[in-house]
Amino acid sequence: MCQLLAMTSKNPADIRFSLTGFRRRGGLTDDHIDGFGIAYFQPTGLRLYYDDQSAIDSPIAEMVSAMTIKANHTLVHIRKSDDSLLKNAHPFVRELWGEPWVFMHNGKMTIADMPDNDPIKQQASQHSTRYYQPIGDTDSEYAFCYLLNQLKDNFTQKPDHDTLNAFLTTQCRFLSTYGIFNCLLCNGDWLLAYANTLLFYVTRQAPFAQATLIDADVTMDFAQTNHDDDVITILATTPLTSDEHWQQLAVNECLIFQNGQIIHQDLPKPAIHLSIKTGLEIAKSA
């Protein structure tokens, strides 16, 4: 499976501290070596680079590690799969309502094994009149196209935040029934994080402390690099630092961030259990 990293911040910020540790999981501290991709939502537009090489070997990963690129949302993916084809490299991007939507996935789904009339598998039909079709052959891209086609089918223009958030949560819950589905989705305005099994986040804001990477012997004092009004949230498949409190998302929890902060949280409804009423409750209901 792959690993995900993202940063959402109030003011454009540099992801390189997190990237230093995360990149090492692409060949040094872990074996996610089948591709690397990074998407920056900068104030002037989307900057998206990907490679079929591992994060450790990729010249693109090396280049961005040497550059100061400040963005409000940054998404990074290291891939572990049966192939390292360029067409299957994350993040995936499609235009929706005049915006670039960027998607990346961690998990294992079973769309390829589904019958041809499966609603997600149908995205790739050669006779499809759908808006979006996969270019590669990953379950991840099938899921992304399904999500976008559902949006385009249901809304002729971008709906309000609450409607969109609820719709996206419902669709992610549906997709998670196809297997393991942890994803990050961003349109430059907000960042959606959906955890089916494994996703953590930490928010950094004043008073800033320092943190030490797990995958590299690097410590950073955020008080030296941030302004008092900065708010930065980092999301990752597993924590990147050893001395911060990383919050794990609940199973099938959906969080949406804007300016580094949570603007939408949707926890799944608890399963319904038969309960034995207490004497008091029986008395009340009688």
> Cis before residue 207, ω within 30 degrees of 0?
yes
Minimum Å gap between C-beta 175 and a second copy is: 19
For a second copy, the binding residue among 15, 33, 89, 199 (CB under 8 A) is 89
For position 116 contacting a second copy by CB under 8 A, the verdict is no
Residues numbered 134-193 forming contacts with a second copy, rule: CB under 8 A: 134-136, 156-157
For position 73 contacting a second copy by CB under 8 A, the verdict is no
| Residue labelled with tokens 């294992």 | 108
For a second copy, the binding residue among 8, 54, 72, 88 (CB under 8 A) is 88
For a second copy, the binding residue among 117, 129, 275, 285 (CB under 8 A) is 129
For position 63 contacting a second copy by CB under 8 A, the verdict is yes
Minimum Å gap between C-beta 277 and a second copy is: 52
Minimum Å gap between C-beta 279 and a second copy is: 59
Instruction: Give the nearer residue to a second copy in terms of CB position, either 23 or 204.
Output: 23
Asked whether the beta carbons of 192 and 254 are under 8 A apart, the reply is: yes
The rounded distance, in Å, linking the Cα atoms of 278 and 286 is 12
Instruction: Give the nearer residue to a second copy in terms of CB position, either 61 or 192.
Output: 61
For position 126 contacting a second copy by CB under 8 A, the verdict is yes
For position 98 contacting a second copy by CB under 8 A, the verdict is yes
- Amino acid at position 143, single letter: A
By CB neighbour count within 10 A (0-12 exposed, 13-18 middle, 19+ buried), where does 69 fall? Answer: middle
Residues numbered 24-43 forming contacts with a second copy, rule: CB under 8 A: 42
Catalytic residues: 2
Minimum Å gap between C-beta 95 and a second copy is: 6
Instruction: Give the nearer residue to a second copy in terms of CB position, either 51 or 253.
Output: 51
For a second copy, the binding residue among 86, 209, 218, 267 (CB under 8 A) is 86
For a second copy, the binding residue among 1, 11, 29, 85 (CB under 8 A) is 85
Minimum Å gap between C-beta 45 and a second copy is: 3
Kindly write down the DSSP assignment for every residue of the chain, as one continuous string.
--EEEEEEEEEEEE-HHHHHHHHHTBTTSSB--S-EEEEEEETTEEEEEEESS-TTT-HHHHHHHTS--EEEEEEEEE--SS---GGGPSPEEEEETTEEEEEEEES-B-GGGS-TTSTTGGGG-TT---S---SS--HHHHHHHHHHHHHHHH-SS---HHHHHHHHHHHHHHHGGGB--EEEEE-SS-EEEEESS--EEEEEESSP-EEEBSSSS-EEEHHHH--TT-EEEEEESS-SBSSS-PEEPPTTEEEEEETTEEEEEEPPPPPP---PPPHHHHHHH-
Minimum Å gap between C-beta 122 and a second copy is: 13
Contact stretch for a second copy (CB under 8 A) within 12-20, 94-102, 189-197, 215-223: 94-102
Q: Which residues bind a second copy (CB under 8 A)?
A: 42, 44-47, 49-52, 59-60, 63, 66-67, 84-89, 94-95, 97-100, 124, 126-129, 131-136, 156-157
